[in-house]
């Protein structure tokens, strides 16, 4: 079985976007103010939250996944409860927020919370106080808060799925985590890192390296890590054959439709854009789509006019 993930240090991620992100995080690490880290799924928000917390005076870091605990148990897990608050509550429990002391509480995936829990969270963050279940009095909390959210959080605010007042409260400092496709300088260092960690031999010719750099990595760092994990499980090397297996699989198409109902025009536009990023050759993309180069240009013009 692959070992637990160990990420490289930011200093080992040479892409300018990662170095700019590192500098931005270091500037706010010591501030006692909420920080929102947002970006695509798998882009490394956990990693950057840990990096931020490690450079702050607010120790230790408590990483709480907002989707890890059923909604019915979340309040008692976080805020605690008093003896007799519910069936089975045979003693007072402080809850994880108070147990964090003056450390850092990282609420991972805050955009997954229900509106009801969002309201309770807003009140707690603003007042720095919570009501343990079954208690008639408030309890103070002293931790600093970090939050992470998917890149669609602003869409959720506009649609009413996420409270605007909570969004503005948690995004006092908002830091965007760029997707891996916008940090191509990190791809090979990450591949080497995970290969070393998982015991996968690396034997890439120049063309295979270029193909990996052109691949858009729709699942970001998580996809890259899982790719190396799959090689480790099979005892395979990261070589040209492995690269072709990655590039030829149908997985990226699933990312275009995973968000729910999509129109045919939307899927066509996104799939065409994916192929253009992957191959950077309009003639080849036209052949893959089974259309003429002129038809491809007409299609791109239609999408621009939408």
Using one digit for the tens of pLDDT, what is the confidence trace for 125-148?
Answer: 999 999 999 988 999 999 999 999
Kindly give the residue spans of alpha helices, DSSP state H, lying in 86-237: 96-99, 115-127, 153-159, 164-170, 187-198, 206-214, 220-234
Checking if the pLDDT of 157 tops 80, the result is: yes
Average of per-residue pLDDT across 251-272:
59
**pLDDT given at position 251:** 47
Nearest to residue 125, comparing CAs of 34, 257, 29?
A: 34
CATH code where residue 57 lies: 3.40.50.300
Helix count and strand count (H, E) for the chain: 15, 7
Point out which residues pair with 107 in neighbouring strands.
64, 147
pTM: 0.78
**pLDDT given at position 254:** 45
> Does residue 11 lie within any of the structural domains?
no
**pLDDT given at position 288:** 72
**pLDDT given at position 211:** 86
Q: Are residues 48 and 149 in the same domain?
A: yes
Which of 143, 178, 213 is the endpoint of a domain? 178
Which of 118, 152, 178 is the endpoint of a domain? 178
Task: Report the percent of the chain where pLDDT is more than 70.
Answer: 91
Q: How many CB atoms lie within 10 A of CB 3?
A: 10
Average of per-residue pLDDT across 242-256:
63
Q: Are residues 35 and 168 in the same domain?
A: yes
Element (H, E) at 23: helix 16-28
Checking if the pLDDT of 241 tops 60, the result is: yes
- Helix/strand/coil for 217: coil
Q: How many CB atoms lie within 10 A of CB 243?
A: 20
Q: Are residues 124 and 51 in the same domain?
A: yes
CA atoms of 210 and 279, how far apart (whole Å): 11
**pLDDT given at position 48:** 95
Q: Are residues 135 and 260 in the same domain?
A: no
Q: How confident is the model at residue 67 (pLDDT cuts 50, 70, 90)?
A: confident
Q: How confident is the model at residue 236 (pLDDT cuts 50, 70, 90)?
A: very high
Average of per-residue pLDDT across 163-187:
95
Task: For residue range 73-90, list pLDDT tens digits in order.
Answer: 999 999 999 999 898 889
Instruction: Give the mean pLDDT of the chain.
Output: 87
Checking if the pLDDT of 250 tops 50, the result is: no
Q: Are residues 46 and 162 in the same domain?
A: yes
**pLDDT given at position 5:** 61
**pLDDT given at position 257:** 45
Q: Which domain holds residue 141?
A: 31-178
> Does residue 2 lie within any of the structural domains?
no
Structure tokens at 72: 């019915």
CATH code where residue 293 lies: 1.10.8.60
Element (H, E) at 65: strand 61-65
Checking if the pLDDT of 253 tops 60, the result is: no
Contact 260, 270 (CB under 8 A): no
Most confident of 177-191, 211-225, 273-287: 177-191
**pLDDT given at position 4:** 53
- Helix/strand/coil for 37: strand
Q: How confident is the model at residue 171 (pLDDT cuts 50, 70, 90)?
A: very high
Which of 178, 207, 237 is the endpoint of a domain? 178
In total, the chain counts a number of residues equal to 306
Average of per-residue pLDDT across 184-195:
95
235 or 7, which is more confident?
Answer: 235
Q: How many CB atoms lie within 10 A of CB 154?
A: 15
Cα dihedral 116→118→120→126 (10° resolution): -160
Task: For residue range 23-52, list pLDDT tens digits in order.
Answer: 999 999 999 999 999 998 889 999 999 999
Domain count, the chain: 2
> Does residue 4 lie within any of the structural domains?
no
- Helix/strand/coil for 220: helix
**pLDDT given at position 262:** 57
């Amino acid at each position: 079985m692959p070992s637990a993930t160990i990420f490289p240090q930011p200093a080992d991620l040479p892409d300018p976007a990662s170095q700019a992100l590192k500098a931005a995080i270091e500037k706010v690490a010591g501030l006692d103010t909420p920080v929102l880290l947002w970006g695509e799924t798998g882009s490394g928000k956990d990693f950057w939250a840990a990096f931020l917390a490690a450079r702050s005076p607010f120790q230790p870091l408590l990483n709480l996944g907002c989707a890890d605990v059923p909604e019915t148990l979340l309040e008692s897990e976080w805020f605690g409860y008093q003896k007799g608050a519910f069936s089975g509550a045979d003693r007072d429990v402080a809850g994880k927020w108070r147990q964090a002391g003056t450390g850092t509480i990282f609420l991972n995936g805050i955009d997954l919370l229900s509106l009801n829990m969002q309201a309770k969270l807003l009140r707690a963050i603003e007042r720095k106080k919570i009501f343990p279940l079954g208690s008639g009095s408030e309890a103070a909390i002293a931790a600093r808060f970090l939050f992470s959210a998917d890149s669609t959080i602003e869409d959720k605010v506009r649609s009413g799925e996420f409270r605007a007042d909570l969004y503005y409260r948690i995004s006092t400092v908002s830091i965007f985590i760029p997707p891996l496709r916008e940090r191509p300088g990190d791809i090979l260092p990450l591949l080497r890192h995970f290969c070393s960690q998982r015991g996968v031999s690396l034997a890439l010719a120049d063309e295979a390296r270029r193909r990996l750099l052109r691949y858009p990595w729709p699942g970001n760092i998580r996809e890259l890590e899982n790719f190396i994990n799959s090689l480790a499980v099979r005892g395979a090397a990261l070589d040209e054959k492995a690269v072709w297996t990655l590039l030829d699989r149908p997985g990226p198409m699933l990312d275009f439709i995973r968000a729910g109902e999509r129109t045919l025009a939307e899927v066509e536009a996104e799939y065409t854009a994916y192929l253009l990023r992957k191959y950077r050759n309009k003639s080849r993309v036209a052949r893959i789509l089974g259309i003429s180069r002129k038809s491809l240009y007409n299609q791109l013009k239609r999408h621009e006019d939408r």
